[in-house]
Structures are given as C-alpha cells and as structure tokens.
Chains A and B, each alone.
Chain A
Amino acid sequence: MNLSLFRSALLPLLALVCAWSTPALHAGVADQVVRARVAGVDVVAYKTPVRDVVTFTGSLPAGDSFSPDSNLVIATLVGGMLDQGTTTRDKFAIAQALDAVGAELAFSVDETMVSFSGKCLRKDIPLVVGLLAEQLRSPAFSEVEFAKLKKQIAGRLQRALEQTGYRANLSFAATVFPPGHPNHEPSTEAFLAALKTATLDDLRAFHAKFYGPAALTLVAVGDIDPDALQAEVAKAFSGWSGGVPRPDYPRTAPLTDLDRDQTVFMSDKPNVSVILGQASGLRHSDPDALPLRVATAILGSGFTGRLMATVRDQEGLTYGIGARTGNDTFADGDWRISANFAPDLLEKGLASTRRELMSWYDQGVTAAEVERTKTNLAGSFQVGLATTNGLASTILATLHRGYPLSWIDEYPQKLNALTVEQVNTAIKRHLNPDTFVLIKAGTVPTVAK
C-alpha cells in the first residue's frame, strides 16, 4: 500500500468548509448555468474552460428513509443493484462499455437520496448519459446478483466495524437521533436481519414506486455543450415517468433520556476515536445555521481553530481534532467535536477539549475571530470552485438545500453581513454542552469488556 503522511488530516475539515462555501471570484455562476427540465429531468449545465473533461453528478429521492417499515435495507439494496446489470446487458457489459473509453459512473445511497457521479471525456457524454438512464430505469434485479450483493454488503459492514471512527459515528447517530429520524442509525443486528429477509419483489416494488424523473437532478460541469447535453438527456430519459418529490421531514424534539457517556470497546486499537456533541435541531437553510457554522469554524476548523491551536499545537494531545455542523441538508442535523487520542492521553485530551469548548460557549467568540473567519470562508469559495468536481458538488448541494442557484453568488454578501452578536447568540440558542453525548471507540482504558 502506498501511503504518504500528511502533516494533518485537516484537509477533509477544510473541504467541509469549502462545501458550504461559494466563489467570490466566480461571480455570476447562476447567470452562466444553463438549466432546463428535459424529459422530466432537471438538467443543470455549467461550461468551464477545462478541456475535454466532464464531471457529472445528480440524485433522486429514493434513499434509506423511503425504505418500508417492514425492511430498512431495501433502498440500499435497490441502489446497490443499479450497477449489477440491466434488462438489456449484464454488469460486465456495462463495465466494459465504460472501461473502453475510461469513463466512470458510480451510484450511492444515503439517508435521503440515491446519488450518482462520474467523469467522462466530452466525446463520451452520449454513452454515459445513455448508460445512466438505462441503469436508473431498468435494473435487471437478477437473483444471482442479488445474492452476491447481500454478501458484499455484509462483508463491507464487517470491514467498517473494524474502524474506531465508523463505530463512534454509528453510536453517535444511533443515540442523538430518535428512530424514524433520517439521521438515525439502526443497530447492526437490525441491519443484518433486514438484509437476510429482503426479497427481490421488495426491491422491484420499491423501484417502481420511488424511481422516476419527478425530482431527478443531473448536474454536468466542464467541457460541455448544454444544448447537446439536453438532447442526449431527452433521448435517454424519454417516456420515463414517476418518482416522488424530495421529502419534507418533520422537525423532531430533542431527546432527553440519553446515555450521555458511552464506550465502544475495541481491542488492539491504540487510537481512540471520540465524538462529543448533540443533535442541533438546525437545517442548513435555517437563519441561525450560518452564524452557528461561523462560530463552529472558529472553535474547530483548520490549524488556527481554537481546538487545534491548543489541544494539538500547544499540548500535543492529538493528531486531529475539529468541530463541525452536518447532516443538515434535508433534515435537522447535528453538531459535533471529533478527535483522536491515545488511550493513556484520553482523559487529559477530553479535559482540554471540554476546557476549550466551555470557554467558547461561555465567553463567545470575538469580533476579530468572526472577521477572520469570514475572510477564510470567502477565500475557500474561490479555491473550492476551481475544479469541475467542486463546482458540480456545490451546485447540487445548493439545490438539495432548497436554495436558488443565485445563493452561490450571494453567499459572500450573506457571510459579510453577519455580526458577532448573531454568531454568539446562535451558539447559546442551539447548543447546550451539559446535554452533549460523548462517544469513545477503541481500546479505552478502565472499561469492563
């Protein structure tokens, strides 16, 4: 395995910041987008100077929250069957068609959406759009592939369960969100039981009910001719109907009866993954969400965030620590600090983390910190949108969050308009460290196995 050591794994944190950033210097993104409904599909095209390469992404609402009450894994299985063959060609033929031109097309399922993403060269757009339509519209649902997929998913789950970070995330989501909430994670036993009992008839029924163009979005960025793209979509998706609108999840009341200090004991894990946080009750588009994100960045984003500057740089207690809001695109999300500690530094690390958290919470942030963070976020807009990937994912996320595309261009102004009072008010209004849940996953000392 070729491994390169980073000074820090903070890039993902910075990328998170970028994900909700938009470009200061790409003024007029909304004006340059060519958007049309074609064969029922919301097609969003954005041409950039990059030569030959096209990045595409998109989604439709058929994620896990749409699974029937009788079986929670149906949406995942349907999404997994999309690249296991169609009614006209098997999975090897699909792979060969893509491989022959070096194109990429992949599907994934989250709590709300089934998503797709890929890349191709400009000349191969007709092939890829055609395959995308074929795979979404007419999966084969073969018995043989279904049996294999079930085993693959069970195997991948076992592999994930070896990771302290995955286990901490799983426990956190299972604790702070109630059953029925889209961000709630079911138990592993329930997931595996559902996997066993799922049938192909369940999958076919789900596909018939939820797959269709009603809320299907396709975003393409790069070396594209928007008119030609629309023509290909019209041809490939012609005659398809159905689908459902994006869900409008009800707000949930915060849970009160929680186990607030949990240990997931795992042997032979010399690093402990820690999550400390709560359900935020906020969606990305709520008025207080932006000030809380700025406040959170001051606490836990980048090397100069308070947590990294103290717990790592001054005290040397961790390789990585940060804070973020998240899982708030369609439903109310969460707020968390994530960190890594050696078992023998765990208690000290937690004490330092709580000290910084409480200082931030009790005393708030300063006007200078807010101004600096605004500049940081405005700059990361520019950098984050310098690639076709960055543009495509930001455009899709903007639409998912229910914003008009003009939000991308207006974002710097919204950011600049924030005051330190708004930022500090958002902290107090939505967070309560006394009710935070603490998850520790790894070889945690002094815990009975």
Chain B
Amino acid sequence: MNPRLLLFLALPLSTASLQADSAPPVTAAAPAVAEGYTHVKTVGGIAEYTLDANGLQVLLLPDHSAPVVTFMVTYHVGSRNEVTGTTGATHLLEHLMFKGTEQFNRTRGNSIDQLLERVGARYNATTWLDRTNYFANLGKDHLEAYIAVESDRMRNLWLREDDRRPEMTVVRNEFEIGENNPIQALDKEINAAAFIAHPYHHPTIGWRSDIEKVSIEKLREFYDTFYWPDNATATVIGDIDATAALALVKKYYGAIPRSPHPIPQVYTEEPVQSGPRRVTVKREGRLGVVGIAFKTPAATHPDMAALQVLGSILTSGKNSRLYRALTDKNLTTSASADIGFFRDPSLTTFYASLAPDAKHDEVERLTLAELTRVKQDGVTDTEVASAISQLLASSAYARDGAFAIASNLNECIASGDWTLYVTLDEAIAKVTASDVKRVASEYLDEDRSTTGWFIPLNAPESAAPAISR
C-alpha cells in the first residue's frame, strides 16, 4: 500500500469520545480565572471559554502525561459552504494558507513550515464537509511561536495569483490521486446522487473544472467571509496550565476584530427522498465494489449513539453480521460501515469490496438481507454489549496523546456541539437492543437509499502485473 495516499480516512467517530472514568490526568476541574474571557462550561475536563474581544471559542484540556502540546484552530467552513463554481475552494484556500504573510514567510526564513519543521513538530491542515482545521503537535516550549504564526494568518494571509497557479496543479494532482482509487470514485458518485440540493452533493476536493478555474478573487472572497475569530475554535491540549494557555491565546488573537458581517449560514435542506437511487462506475480495474448508502441524521441527533452500535454489530470484527455473511464466505475481501457524523443529515454507507469471482447482485442481495434481518428480528443483548465495549475501549485508545485527542475533538467541534466528545460515549453506554432495532428500521429504508456499483472493466484472468519497458 502506497503510504503517501492523498486522502485521509477520517477517524471513526466511535473513537471520538472520552470516558469519564479513564480520562487523562486533568487539572481543569475548576475554570481558570482569566481576564477578558467568559467561561462557558466545563464538560469531561474540557473547559470552554469565549474571548470577549472577538467571540473566539477556546477549548482547553491540560494533560501532563508528556511534555508536548497540541494547538489547533478549527474554522467553521467546509465544502458545505461552497456552491457551483467554487467547489473545492475551501480546500484550495487551506493550501494557500501556507504561502505566508508579510510578517511570516519563507523569504524571511520564518514561514510556518520553516518554524514547525525546525522544531520537529507534527503539523498539517485538513478540510472536510463542515470545517477546516490547522494544527501542530510540538514541544511545549515552542507553543507561543506557533500561536504567533497561526494567529497572524487568520487575517493577514497573502493571497496571490502567483501562488494560486502552482498550488492549483498541486491540488489537481491530489484530485487525480483520489481518482485512482475505485472506492473513492464510487463514493463521489453515491454522494452526488444521494444529495440533489444540499451541498454534501459535491466532494470536498471539488470538481476538476472548479479546481482549475476558481479565481484568486473568489478565494479572497471566501477568506474574507469565513476566516474570522467569531467563526473559529482554538483548542489547546497538553502540558500547559489553563491560565497560561488562555493568556497566550489572548495575546495573539485578542487584537483581531470580530467579523464585520454576519457569517453566512447554510440554509439549504435536502428534500425527502422517495425512492431508491442507483449509480454505476465502470473503469479499468480488477475487483468490484458495492456501496449502499442510507440517509441518516446529523451528528447531534439522539439516535447517533444507536447508529454507532448498529454499525459495529454489522461490520466490526469477525463476529459482525456482514463479516459472517460475506467475508467469511469469500464473497468479499472486506465489508465496512461508514456512519456519517456531520453537522447536517448525511449518509451511512455500507461498502462491500468484492472478492474474485463474486457477483455484484449476490453481494448486494446478501447485504440487504442482513440489514432486513436486523430490522425484522433485532439484535442480541450479547451483540449490543460487545459493540458497546468495543466502542468505549476505542474511545479510551483514542486518548493516546494530545494529537489523537485533538483529531477526534475536531470532528465534534465541526458537528456543532463539541461536548459530543464526552456525551456520545455516555449515550453509547446506554444503548439497548431495542434501540438498535428501532434505528435500523427507521433509517435503513430502501426508499431512502442510494446503491452504487463499481464495475471493473477488463478484469484480468490472472493477477500478473503487466510491465512494459
């Protein structure tokens, strides 16, 4: 497997929360006293503040298990905020955020890349449907220098055509790498068919023509619309005390003004789907793929916990329903569930990667039969208990270091309620077999499904690579 894949498989949200009884060492039981801030709430050891000067949301989780800190800024803008002609703009802008500012740039030898690589930081940025985040995991002594650069690019970014042109081809190559992958190609088509009005219709990387043609002026407009402190969350996790962290954030973000205009909100709602939809992708390849997607609710919906348990029962491990029905019978090489965890209602998609000689229609039929069995007969208490144990243990494992915590907390921030990082586990622990049967019946509705087949063309007789010189 090429380790340089361009797309990052997001962490399953089942690993996103924090069990109260096994949290990392926490010293934020009482809110820190910090002038210029309003303490909003503390949940699961994570304290939320608002920077009074400009509305910046700040989350703090001191963790002294290692002398490192993760600082992350999450902007509440993603591909959900794009329209035709600007698809992919959020992501292209994310790339351009590394091109420098008047104060910090490569020529001066103090660009963000130069600063962070010099100190061995683990850093990057990501874009997804609902958010864009910038982060670094680094030695605590370097935190202030990073916050200085990160805050400066919130409003002072160079946005130059001379930077856009070469970066556009970089992003286009990222798009091309995604197109190499049959499952990713199929996933785009399924989403595009499942959503006809809502912007989850288009992929985060955008359509190729938009990537190529969006102007620097449009990107500037995007930046000036969404990159403001009152549309962002700053998170500090690691070996630093709360008062010191708040002081640093205020020192560098406090002077940035609030957005001069209201941040535009997405108001488009997806119409109710009233019949099954199908898509087919035919390309050169070796093995087929079947994907079946169902409309499921937003991350903040109370049914999310039961959906997580349902997904685990169907696809997690050798005792899962689809492993037994498909993979163990050599019909698939793997079967997985992707439980959409987003701000707006999205999709839960079951992917079955076909084994050699397996037929699409048979795998689709058997997958649907398993889903029907859950809807009609429910699941056992043993299955539910096992799924809950797996999900809660995964949560504990996902607290292995400040960086891992930040990655998962980020998705909860993006969903619109960061406290899900704590409360989702509590809800998962209470899920019952009847809950699972109910959500299966409610959401695994064929009339609200989109089924996709990847059909490989010219599948070879043997697996021998064709090498020409």
Contacts and interface: CB of A to CB of B under 8 A. Distances in A.
Interface stretch (A74-82, A96-104, A202-210, A235-243): A96-104
Interface string A30-54: 0000000000000000001111110
B204 to A, nearest CB: 5
Nearest to B171: A319
A384 B139 CA distance: 10
Given A151-B355, A378-B120, A6 B6 contact: yes
A187 interface: yes
Given A3-B8, A148-B328, A165 B1 contact: yes
B28 interface: no
B450 to A, nearest CB: 13
Given A189-B462, A304-B114, A386-B137, A320 B400 contact: no
Contacts of A315: 166
Contacts of B174: 5, 319
B199 to A, nearest CB: 15
Contacts of A163: 1-2, 180-181
Contacts of B387: 99
Nearest to A317: B169
Given A1-B184, A7-B95, A53 B400 contact: yes
Interface in A155-175: 155-171
B85 to A, nearest CB: 19
Interface in A67-112: 91-92, 94-96, 98-104
Contacts of B122: 11, 14-15, 18, 380, 383-384
> Looking at chain B's contact residues, is the secondary structure mostly helix, strand, loop, or mixed?
mixed
Nearest to B286: A158
A2 interface: yes
Contact of A383 (B68, B467, B468): B68
Contacts of A53: 22, 396-397, 399-400
B52 interface: no
B391 to A, nearest CB: 7
What size tier do the contact residues of chain B reach?
Answer: 35 or more
B30 interface: no
B139 A6 contact: no
B206 to A, nearest CB: 10
A268 B68 CA distance: 44
Contacts of B65: 48-50, 386
A303 B98 contact: yes
Contacts of A96: 319, 386
A270 interface: yes
Nearest to B96: A7
Interface in A189-210: 189, 192
B8 A264 contact: no
Contacts of A121: 22, 393, 396
A158 B463 contact: yes
Contact of A92 (B184, B318, B385): B318
B124 A157 contact: no
Nearest to A389: B400
B113 A99 contact: no
Contacts of B173: 271, 317-319, 340-342, 345
A101 to B, nearest CB: 6
A5 B399 CA distance: 22
B330 A3 contact: no
A262 interface: yes
Interface in B163-192: 165-174, 176-184, 187
Contact of A4 (B66, B127, B340, B385): B127
A52 B22 contact: yes
A399 B240 CA distance: 33
A25 interface: yes
B455 interface: no
Contacts of B466: 264-266, 449
A449 B5 contact: no
B349 interface: yes
Interface string B393-411: 1101101111110000000
A432 interface: no
Contacts of B8: 3-6, 9
A340 to B, nearest CB: 6
B81 to A, nearest CB: 15
A154 B463 contact: yes
Contacts of B187: 1, 3
A279 interface: no
A148 B355 CA distance: 11
Contacts of A10: 124
Nearest to B128: A4
B392 interface: yes
A156 B333 contact: yes
A376 B117 contact: yes
A25 B139 contact: yes
Contact of A1 (B23, B349, B392, B402): B349
B262 to A, nearest CB: 27
Given A3-B8, A49-B65, A302 B113 contact: yes
B378 to A, nearest CB: 19
A273 interface: yes
Contacts of B284: 266-269
Given A12-B3, A265-B468, A314-B166, A192 B118 contact: no
Contacts of A378: 120
Nearest to B127: A5
Contacts of B4: 9, 12-13, 165, 320, 322, 338, 340
A103 to B, nearest CB: 7
B466 to A, nearest CB: 6
Interface of A: 1-15, 17-18, 21, 25-26, 48-53, 55, 91-92, 94-96, 98-104, 119-121, 148, 151-152, 154-171, 187-189, 192, 259, 261-271, 273, 302-304, 312-320, 322, 338, 340-342, 345, 372, 375-390, 442, 447-449
Interface of B: 1-10, 22-25, 64-68, 91, 94-95, 98, 113-114, 117-122, 124-128, 137-139, 142, 165-174, 176-184, 187, 203-205, 283-287, 316-319, 327-328, 330, 333, 338, 340-341, 349, 351, 353, 355-356, 385-387, 389-394, 396-397, 399-404, 457-458, 462-469
Given A9-B8, A262-B469, A319-B6, 6 more contacts: A3-B187, A5-B8, A48-B66, A52-B22, A119-B393, A165-B2
